[in-house]
Protein backbone atom coordinates (compact mmCIF):
# COMPACT_ATOMS: atom_id res chain seq x y z
CA UNK A 1 0.00 0.00 0.00
CA UNK A 2 2.75 2.47 0.86
CA UNK A 3 4.32 1.88 -2.55
CA UNK A 4 1.03 2.75 -4.23
CA UNK A 5 0.62 5.90 -2.13
CA UNK A 6 4.17 6.97 -2.93
CA UNK A 7 3.63 6.42 -6.64
CA UNK A 8 6.03 3.52 -7.08
CA UNK A 9 5.84 2.39 -10.69
CA UNK A 10 3.91 -0.83 -11.17
CA UNK A 11 2.14 -0.62 -7.82
CA UNK A 12 -1.62 -0.64 -7.62
CA UNK A 13 -4.19 -0.30 -4.88
CA UNK A 14 -5.35 -3.51 -3.22
CA UNK A 15 -8.73 -4.82 -4.34
CA UNK A 16 -10.23 -4.09 -0.89
CA UNK A 17 -9.38 -0.41 -1.29
CA UNK A 18 -10.80 -0.28 -4.81
CA UNK A 19 -14.01 -1.84 -3.48
CA UNK A 20 -14.16 0.71 -0.64
CA UNK A 21 -13.72 3.56 -3.14
CA UNK A 22 -16.47 2.17 -5.36
CA UNK A 23 -18.85 1.79 -2.43
CA UNK A 24 -18.11 5.35 -1.34
CA UNK A 25 -18.49 6.74 -4.86
CA UNK A 26 -21.79 4.99 -5.53
CA UNK A 27 -23.08 5.29 -1.94
CA UNK A 28 -23.77 1.58 -1.78
CA UNK A 29 -22.66 -1.54 0.05
CA UNK A 30 -20.73 -4.37 -1.60
CA UNK A 31 -23.59 -6.89 -1.24
CA UNK A 32 -27.36 -6.62 -1.31
CA UNK A 33 -29.17 -5.82 1.91
CA UNK A 34 -28.28 -3.56 4.79
CA UNK A 35 -25.10 -3.06 6.77
CA UNK A 36 -25.69 -6.06 8.99
CA UNK A 37 -26.22 -8.26 5.92
CA UNK A 38 -22.66 -7.61 4.70
CA UNK A 39 -19.90 -10.20 5.12
CA UNK A 40 -17.88 -9.14 8.15
CA UNK A 41 -14.59 -10.14 6.52
CA UNK A 42 -15.27 -7.97 3.47
CA UNK A 43 -16.29 -4.94 5.52
CA UNK A 44 -13.29 -5.31 7.84
CA UNK A 45 -10.90 -5.63 4.90
CA UNK A 46 -12.36 -2.52 3.25
CA UNK A 47 -12.11 -0.50 6.47
CA UNK A 48 -8.54 -1.64 7.07
CA UNK A 49 -7.51 -0.81 3.50
CA UNK A 50 -9.12 2.64 3.69
CA UNK A 51 -7.48 3.41 7.05
CA UNK A 52 -4.10 2.26 5.76
CA UNK A 53 -4.42 4.41 2.64
CA UNK A 54 -5.57 7.42 4.65
CA UNK A 55 -2.67 7.04 7.09
CA UNK A 56 0.07 6.68 4.48
CA UNK A 57 -1.29 9.36 2.17
CA UNK A 58 -1.87 11.77 5.06
CA UNK A 59 1.65 11.26 6.31
CA UNK A 60 3.09 11.77 2.82
CA UNK A 61 1.14 15.02 2.31
CA UNK A 62 2.27 16.28 5.72
CA UNK A 63 5.89 15.40 5.01
CA UNK A 64 5.80 17.25 1.68
CA UNK A 65 4.54 20.37 3.50
CA UNK A 66 7.06 19.98 6.34
CA UNK A 67 4.18 19.51 8.79
CA UNK A 68 4.91 15.98 9.94
CA UNK A 69 5.03 16.87 13.64
CA UNK A 70 1.72 18.72 13.49
CA UNK A 71 0.11 15.88 11.52
CA UNK A 72 1.37 13.33 14.04
CA UNK A 73 -0.12 15.33 16.89
CA UNK A 74 -3.44 15.72 15.07
CA UNK A 75 -3.57 12.07 13.99
CA UNK A 76 -1.76 10.04 16.67
CA UNK A 77 -3.38 6.72 15.73
CA UNK A 78 -2.38 7.08 12.07
CA UNK A 79 1.10 8.31 13.01
CA UNK A 80 1.63 5.28 15.24
CA UNK A 81 0.35 2.98 12.49
CA UNK A 82 2.81 4.45 9.97
CA UNK A 83 5.69 4.20 12.44
CA UNK A 84 4.94 0.57 13.28
CA UNK A 85 4.54 -0.34 9.62
CA UNK A 86 7.84 1.14 8.52
CA UNK A 87 6.92 4.41 6.86
Q: Is residue 85 part of a domain?
A: yes
Q: Is residue 23 part of a domain?
A: no
- Domain span at residue 79 reads 39-87
Alpha-carbon distances, residue 5 vs 12, 27, 30, 32, 47 (angstroms) = 9, 24, 24, 31, 17
pLDDT, tens digit (0-9, with 9 covering 90-100), for 13-28:
999 999 999 999 999 9
23 and 46 Cβ atoms separated by less than 8 Å:
yes
pLDDT, tens digit (0-9, with 9 covering 90-100), for 60-87:
999 999 999 999 999 999 999 999 997 6
Q: Is residue 13 part of a domain?
A: no
Q: Which residues contact 58 (CB under 8 A, 6 or more apart)?
A: 71, 75, 78
Per the structure, the count of domains in the chain is 1
Amino acid sequence: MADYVEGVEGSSPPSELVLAWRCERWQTLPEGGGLFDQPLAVMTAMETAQFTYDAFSGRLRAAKRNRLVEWSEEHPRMAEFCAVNGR
